[in-house]
Amino acid sequence: MGLKGVIKKIIAFLLPEESKRDDNREYSLSLCNENKVVEINHITNNIYNLNIDVTKLKQEEKEKLIEIYPEIRQNNGLILEQNKFNIFKEQREKNRNVPLLKFFKGKIKEEDYQALRMSVYIQRKFSNGEDIKPYLNDLYKKYGQRGYNINNLNGRGYFESFIKLNYTLLQSQERENEFLNFFDKFIMEQPITYFVNQMKSQEVMNEELLSKINKCKRYGIRKLSIHGMGKINKEKIDEFIKIIEDRSDIKIVSRIEIGVAVSLILEIALDT
């Protein structure tokens, strides 16, 4: 029996007077803690929700519920916590067919793909102005620094441009087998990017950046992009500019500020 049939049976048992109603109502079912044991709420048009507060059901009512709807134990659909259902629904409607995710599915390791999928979700929340801290914590807890790096790189469009392009290029040369190695290094060593971290002091950041610039020189990398979010990180980038602005081997190509995000692009003269 489908859930619709089950709901009508439950109504007949718990709200017999309602079941006499001869109309074309469509019902959904929720199991939430409310004032009443059982309640029907109008949602829209002919759509109604039947809520059963399972915490208030008597033992015999629970047994009857299981008798009417034995599948609640095996479950023939999906029973999901309300808050998570909203994420589930939103993801299915808006993020399920994101071309970027489709492209990278199967091309990168499953764990990296999962982190990228979380990042796509987080970036959309961020662009809607929503609080993303809990999601970032979740990302870090599960995927550590690697997950953070994936999110940072995705947030600045590196997956859509640089990484995707690199895969396509390798593919055109029948060298796809080199991609994972490139990807791994790009994510963990971030050779052409630096993301300013609020937790790191100005001194540590300066040291890391100068060391990175030296590494760029050593390996013939001419361009380095520095990204920061928020007032504190913006100030750190501006302090760093003061250190390098007089250096003849480093040229500041651009300093772009969009909203709370700042990007500093450097061109590095290679040692001859």
Partner 1 sequence: MDDRFIVFDEKSKEALLEIMNKSVDPEGFIIEKDNPTERVLTKEGEEIKLEEFAGVRKGSEVFIKNDLNSILELAETFE
Cα radius of gyration rounded to whole Å, the chain: 27
Stretch that binds partner 1, among 90-98, 179-187, 218-226, 256-264 (CB under 8 A): 90-98
Residue numbers 173-192 binding partner 1 by CB under 8 A:
none
Q: Which of 94, 179, 190 minimizes the C-alpha distance to 151?
A: 190
DSSP 8-state secondary structure symbol assigned to residue 23: S
**Cβ closest to partner 1, residue 32 vs residue 260:** 32
Would strands 261-268 and 223-229 be described as parallel, antiparallel, or unpaired?
A: antiparallel
| Min separation Cβ 25 and partner 1, Å | 13
Residues 133-172 close enough to bind partner 1 by CB under 8 A? 135, 138-139, 141-142
Pick out residues in 102-131 that bind partner 1 (CB under 8 A).
Answer: 114, 117-118, 121
Q: How far is CA 34 from CA 26, 38, 50, 181, 186, in A?
A: 21, 8, 12, 54, 51
- Is residue 37 involved in binding partner 1 (CB under 8 A)? no
d(CA 195, CA 130): 21
Q: How far is CA 161 from the centre of its chain?
A: 19
Tell me if 68 contacts partner 1 by CB under 8 A: no
Number of residues that bind partner 1 (CB under 8 A): 47
The structure tokens listed for 261 are 């995000």
DSSP state of 91: I
Position 84 contacts partner 1 (CB under 8 A): yes
Q: Which residues bind partner 1 (CB under 8 A)?
A: 2-4, 28-33, 49, 53-55, 57, 62, 65-66, 72-85, 87-89, 91-92, 95-96, 114, 117-118, 121, 135, 138-139, 141-142
